[in-house]
């Protein structure tokens, strides 16, 4: 009996300690700060729901949350479409170039997130690569300002960043599909579209859900890309949380916003998991 307990403690102890120190305690700390208040840059440990009421009543916070939801939804949808198409091509149509294409897909993950976001600022800027190319070809006569510092530039950059997060799990799911099922569908008269819709997509749905969850969670709370490529009209909740913990020194308000983000992300994960189970 005691030997079994020791074995369980030996194998599960490090994982439990990691979860306690890096997951449970930080969440508890954020939740605790969210019900405190600040006055004259001093945190008062009195229980209050004022921070959450401020989120509900202040249009600035509501707008930031709605912008973050909209950006996350657009980025997730675009990343799923492009990432799925890319994964299907690499898995079924790339031939000998499969290893090379897979390597090219993974390479961006080796570089800094900040660097990948900043590159698009160089591409979309007034003196950037895209404007320079359009001017050189005579398509436009003066640089375009609509390419940068708006929701388009934020969504485009985040989609570029998170396409591998969708393509990789989808590719792994596609690799597990028995080739016999695909051949059987084709032999029974199923077209390529029918085989894709009735065989490949249902069997690769776990990879799609996994990639979509990663993309939605990370893009919803991102603050680097809106800071570099967003404008005054693209206010996202991640940027506000950073300002609350930094310049404003309002940790309780920042914690309350962080709790709201966690609840929204958790809700999205639960809904996506239920959708996968329902279609599994």
Domain boundaries, the chain: 52-110+162-279
The token pair that represents 26 in the structure block: 């930080």
pLDDT band at 11 (very low <50, low <70, confident <90, very high): confident
Three-state secondary-structure class, residue 124: helix
pLDDT at 2: 58
Distance CA(161)–CA(157), nearest Å, equals: 6
- Quick: pLDDT tens for 148-188: 899 999 999 999 999 999 999 999 999 999 888 888 888 78
pLDDT at 279 over 80: no
Residues 177 and 238 sit within 8 Å (Cβ to Cβ): no
Location of structure tokens 């080796």: 110
d(CA 18, CA 152) in angstroms, rounded, equals 39
In angstroms, the Cα distances linking 168 to 3, 95, 265 are 41, 17, 21
For the ranges 79-93, 127-141, 187-201, the one whose mean pLDDT is highest: 79-93
Q: Count the helices and strands in the chain (H runs, E runs).
A: 14, 2
| Domain 52-110+162-279 superfamily per CATH | MetI-like (1.10.3720.10)
Question: Mean pLDDT over residues 56-80, rounded?
Answer: 96
- Tokens for 117? 């976001």
- pTM, to two decimals: 0.91
Contact 120, 108 (CB under 8 A): no
126 HSE (CA, 13 A, CB side): 4
pLDDT-derived band of residue 3, with 50, 70 and 90 as boundaries?
A: low
Cα 160 to Cα 83: distance, rounded to the nearest angstrom: 10
Q: Looking at residue 248, what is its pLDDT?
A: 86
Q: Give the count of alpha carbons within 13 A of 94, CB side only.
A: 18
pLDDT of residue 236: 93
- The candidate with the shortest Cα–Cα distance to 32, out of 20, 50, 45, is 45
Sequence-distant (≥ 6) Cβ neighbours of residue 263 within 8 angstroms: none
**Predicted local confidence at residue 143, as pLDDT:** 87
């Amino acid at each position: 009996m005691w030997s079994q307990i020791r074995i369980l403690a030996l194998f599960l102890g490090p994982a439990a300690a990691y979860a306690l120190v890096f997951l449970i305690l930080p969440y508890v700390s954020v939740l605790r700060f969210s019900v405190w208040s600040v006055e004259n840059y001093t945190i008062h440990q009195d229980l209050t729901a004022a921070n959450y009421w401020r989120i509900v009543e202040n249009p600035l916070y509501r707008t930031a949350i709605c912008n973050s939801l909209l950006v996350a939804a657009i980025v997730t949808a675009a990343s799923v479409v492009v990432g799925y198409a890319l994964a299907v091509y690499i898995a079924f149509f790339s031939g000998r170039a499969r290893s090379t294409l897979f390597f090219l897909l993974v390479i961006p993950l080796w570089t800094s997130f900040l660097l990948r976001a900043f590159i698009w600022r160089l591409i979309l800027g007034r003196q950037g690569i895209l404007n320079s190319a359009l001017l050189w070809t005579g398509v436009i006569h003066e640089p375009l300002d609509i390419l940068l510092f708006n929701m388009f530039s934020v969504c485009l950059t985040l989609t570029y960043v998170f396409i591998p997060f969708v393509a990789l799990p989808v590719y792994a799911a596609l690799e597990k599909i028995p080739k016999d099922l695909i051949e059987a569908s084709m032999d029974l008269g199923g077209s390529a579209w029918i085989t894709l819709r009735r065989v490949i997509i249902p069997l690769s749905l776990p990879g799609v859900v996994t990639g979509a969850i990663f993309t939605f969670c990370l893009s919803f709370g991102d603050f680097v890309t809106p800071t570099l490529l967003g404008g005054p009209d693209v206010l996202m909740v991640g940027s506000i949380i950073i300002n609350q913990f930094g310049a404003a020194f309002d940790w309780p308000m920042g914690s309350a916003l962080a709790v709201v983000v966690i609840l929204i992300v958790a809700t999205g994960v639960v809904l996506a998991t239920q959708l996968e189970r329902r279609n599994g």
